[in-house]
Amino acid sequence: MKIAVLSRNPKLYSTRRLVEAAVQRGHEVRVLDVLRCYMNITSMRPSIHYRGEVLSGFDAVIPRIGASVTFYGNAVLRQFEMMGVYPLNESVAITRSRDKLRSLQLLARKGIGLPVTGFAHSPDDVQDMLKMVGGAPAVIKLLEGTQGIGVVLAETEKAAESVIEAFMGLRANILIQEFIQEAGGADIRCLVVGGKVVAAMKRQGKEGEFRSNLHRGGSASLIKLTPEERSTAMRAAGIMGLNVCGVDILRSNHGPVVMEVNSSPGLEGIENATQKDIAGLIIQFIEKNHQPHKTKTRGKG
């Protein structure tokens, strides 16, 4: 197979591992900087150009699109789909998962456990919304934030109101969520490939830090999932329509709650914690499932 990896940086651990795993299994791989791809959008022969050449002959594409380039990256991925190239994750599913509000609404509609979440436009509604999510402490999240950036824990009602009003003053879209105290600054990252949880790790925030992201100094360790946690992760991935994703779960007093579904999960932390060849499993999934023009969501913006 000839596989394209859409990644801004070929030296990133996840990109390197995917390339290594594909080459080991006898495939030809090319890493493409998604921002250097440009497109000829035509109904007869859609094409993608890259640094002066026309790209052709690819069987599959692995999108590793960073949150900051979601819009352009998804446009390139859609063009690959129009050309009949099999996407590991479809553009529609990535767009769905990157919109934090939309993804929570989709998960809630299907009965997935979530932290109580509020969303409002007017600062006048802040006090009532804080009551709705159980009062302070509360977690305030920028809709556009990633890797724990733009996530604030407001310890008191006054602090929450100040932070919310500041964000709203900047015309930023924010979510307000109940703080799951019993999670103790830890969450569970479940790695789902092809509808199955293939690995899971516990991420623990450093002392005094409620965010457990490894980028923020958190640590990773092996964890045994309960059947309910495993089922929640698999259902969440299916609702988003993602073949490969990281599902972040908190252990709350009322069962597992999903924090986020990540369409481009990092492989370094989970491969090191579990000693599993996740990249190899992803390539095997592509081998089994790739077909020309195989996109479930074609035509459903």
- Whichever domain contains 66, its CATH number is 3.40.50.20
Verify that 191 and 133 share a domain, yes or no. Answer: no
Stated pTM of the model: 0.87
pLDDT band at residue 19 using 50, 70 and 90 as cut-offs: very high
Our count of domains for the chain comes to 3
Quick: pLDDT tens for 37-62. 999 988 788 999 999 999 999 999 99
Task: Say if 261 falls within a structural domain.
Answer: yes
pLDDT band at residue 301 using 50, 70 and 90 as cut-offs: very low
Task: Say if 300 falls within a structural domain.
Answer: no
Quick: pLDDT tens for 69-80. 999 999 999 999
Task: Say if 10 falls within a structural domain.
Answer: yes
Verify that 36 and 81 share a domain, yes or no. Answer: yes
Verify that 163 and 217 share a domain, yes or no. Answer: no
Verify that 100 and 140 share a domain, yes or no. Answer: no
Verify that 30 and 82 share a domain, yes or no. Answer: yes
Q: Which residues contact 76 (CB under 8 A, 6 or more apart)?
A: 6, 34, 37, 39, 48
Quick: pLDDT tens for 111-167. 999 999 988 777 777 788 888 888 888 888 887 755 557 788 888 888 888 888 888
Determine the pLDDT at residue 68. Answer: 86
Verify that 135 and 167 share a domain, yes or no. Answer: yes
SS (H, E, C) the chain: CEEEEECCCCCCHHHHHHHHHHHHCCCEEEEECHHHEEEECCCCCCEEEECCEEECCCCEEEECCCHHHHHHHHHHHHHHHHCCCEECCCHHHHHHHHCHHHHHHHHHHCCCCCCCEECCCCHHHHHHHHHHCCCCCEEEEECCCCCCCCEEEECCHHHHHHHHHHHHHCCCCEEEEECCHHHCCEEEEEEEECCEEEEEEEEECCCCCCCCCHHHCCEEEECCCCHHHHHHHHHHHHHHCCCEEEEEEEEECCEEEEEEEECCCCCHHHHHHHCCCHHHHHHHHHHHHCCCCCCCCCCCC
Determine the pLDDT at residue 148. Answer: 57
